[in-house]
Chains A and B, each alone.
Chain A
């Protein structure tokens, strides 16, 4: 079975090809630099939207002008207007705060709980490891989206509940990665040296194991951020997020569903923003990944 898992790990995109392999095609440096710059611009802009929506929005996100309803994108309304005459661009700008917050909460919940489980399991080993990892196996048996839906049923609807549900569904991934890292680090000579020198058990964990095991977990958190944006907006799209007049990326797109044939911009443009943001977030995760990968 161990061979099985290593084979699966080798196959993940982060695996380095062995020396002499046909090199995977890398985009030439200028292209990579340009895409990094573009990702930075996108993320800075979205953070601006989230923190200072009034500065970037051109109209009121909630109050519409009925006479200007269903206008296609143009100079006055960059993304057009919806069926209530609200400016869609302004709604997307105002929705970014909630959507990003939700994704952030989800990643924090998943990474904190998951890392703690992985840390305890990998460091204490023995029955603690067995019990915790069996529980992780069980949680993995329920697909993430279904688990999130069940948790939302129990917690009730709303942005924060959706965020927590998505976060809890992501705990298992962090637990596994953290455990693997702790197992790897605890065999290192400097950890052995610290133990031999008589450093107390928990001090070894805090001072030597945790800082050295954290790298891949941080990369995973960055990768999970993009995934969390998608999951949170999917649940919001299904109607389990913020209640209607409040804009969120998911429910903005959902509101356009009845106007697909006549007002396609109501769904197309907000969705394109989500794609661009997730691409930029994933691009950043890849940049974070590089030093971690070369270290191993």
Chain B
């Protein structure tokens, strides 16, 4: 068990390191020149006619004059100590900016996750459980719709209806729980739709298992079969989706925070991309990668605790 644990943790560390290398390659090898971008913003868009000595000085200051491998190793060493360099736009430390914005996005993402799970399980359950066909078919049709709706458009509709139409919740802002509801809902719908589909399919498979027949033969009621026996086993496969869902939320935050004018990691990312602020983008990508890897690792470690079959098989190997 300890070996298994160690192996999984090492794997996770490897993936994070490789993700860092991947983003370094993508961001620093491709044609954009950070120094040109920096000077472009500093002098209001004029990149021509700048003193070459000034360019050289900036290159030296940021280390861009070093060979690529030296740049890579220096930055990797800094990153290990939690230093992701500074924004080429504002000069702010990347790690500090991310730390300031993170709480906003954590609150938003947390609520979105709760909403997504609630929506997903409720809709998935109700597309199987009810006896009335009309109800089932109506609820089966919901997830494909949720998947087809662009989340930015959904957010706009929510603002139009709930904020402007009914005047219920604030359309923009960072203050209080009320301002969290609409953006969280915007993020939760596409994620919840996927979850609903997977859960419904898993419920169908579970209900076909022989042990359900045994339970039915023993005279258990419909509700007892569902709540007492089917749901718990049907929930297991959805656990493997959790990493994906959390990753989706990080991307969703970029859209939700932009539409609802909230500050947070998503907004920071969009600003960084707009200004081609490469160190900032890299910081955010690494945050997303570490989050997904950690969540996936946790799920993998918790899974054997929930499902004894995985545990016994691992022991047998």
Contacts and interface: CB of A to CB of B under 8 A. Distances in A.
Interface of A: 3-4, 7-8, 10-13, 15, 17-22, 24-25, 27, 134-135, 137-139, 141-147, 149-156, 226, 230, 233-234, 237-240, 250, 253-254, 256-257, 260-261, 264, 267-268, 271, 274-275, 278-279, 282
A17 B145 contact: no
B237 interface: yes
Given A153-B276, A261-B160, 16 more contacts: A12-B198, A19-B208, A21-B208, A22-B207, A24-B200, A25-B137, A137-B15, A141-B16, A141-B19, A145-B251, A145-B252, A146-B288, A153-B272, A153-B278, A226-B147, A240-B273
Nearest to A139: B22
**Secondary structure call for the A interface:** helix
A227 to B, nearest CB: 8
21 contacts: A3-B310, A10-B201, A10-B205, A13-B200, A17-B204, A17-B205, A21-B205, A137-B15, A138-B18, A142-B292, A149-B269, A150-B285, A153-B272, A154-B30, A155-B31, A237-B150, A237-B152, A237-B255, A275-B145, A279-B145, A279-B148
Contacts of A11: 198-199, 201-202, 205, 237-238
B168 to A, nearest CB: 15
A137 B197 CA distance: 24
B215 to A, nearest CB: 14
A271 B156 contact: yes
B202 A154 contact: no
A257 to B, nearest CB: 7
Interface residues of B, number: 79
B204 A24 contact: yes
B314 to A, nearest CB: 8
Contacts of A137: 15
B293 interface: yes
Given A13-B198, A260-B164, A275 B140 contact: no
Contact of B150 (A22, A25, A150, A233): A233
A8 B32 CA distance: 41
Contacts of A234: 150-152, 255
Interface of B: 14-16, 18-19, 22-23, 26-27, 29-32, 127-128, 133, 136-137, 140, 144-145, 147-153, 156-157, 159-160, 164, 171, 197-202, 204-205, 207-209, 236-238, 240-241, 247-248, 250-252, 254-255, 258-259, 269-270, 272-274, 276, 278, 281-282, 284-285, 288-289, 292-293, 296, 303, 309-310, 313
Contacts of B26: 150-151, 154
B254 A238 contact: yes
A4 B310 contact: yes
Nearest to A144: B251
Contacts of A271: 150, 153, 156-157
B285 A142 contact: yes
A23 B137 CA distance: 12
A66 to B, nearest CB: 25
Contact of B284 (A141, A146, A240): A146
B285 A282 contact: no
A275 B148 contact: yes
Contacts of B156: 253, 256-257, 260, 267-268, 271
Contacts of A151: 26
Nearest to B299: A4
A139 B19 CA distance: 7
A247 to B, nearest CB: 16
A138 B15 contact: yes
Given A7-B236, A239-B274, A141 B292 contact: yes
B303 to A, nearest CB: 7
Contact of B281 (A4, A10, A149, A264): A149
Nearest to B282: A150
A282 to B, nearest CB: 6
A234 B155 CA distance: 12
Contacts of B276: 153, 156
A3 B25 CA distance: 35
A146 B151 contact: no
A142 B285 CA distance: 7
B148 A226 contact: yes
A12 B201 contact: yes
Nearest to B25: A154
A238 B270 contact: yes
Contacts of B209: 18
Nearest to A19: B208
A25 B133 contact: yes
The CB with the most chain A CB atoms within 10 A, among B14, B207, B248, B288, is that of B288
Contact of A142 (B29, B289, B296): B289
A57 to B, nearest CB: 22
A135 B14 CA distance: 11
Contacts of A264: 160
B205 A238 contact: no
B6 to A, nearest CB: 16
A13 B151 contact: no
Contacts of B204: 17, 21-22, 24
Nearest to B288: A146
Given A11-B201, A238-B258, A3 B313 contact: yes
Contacts of A12: 198, 201
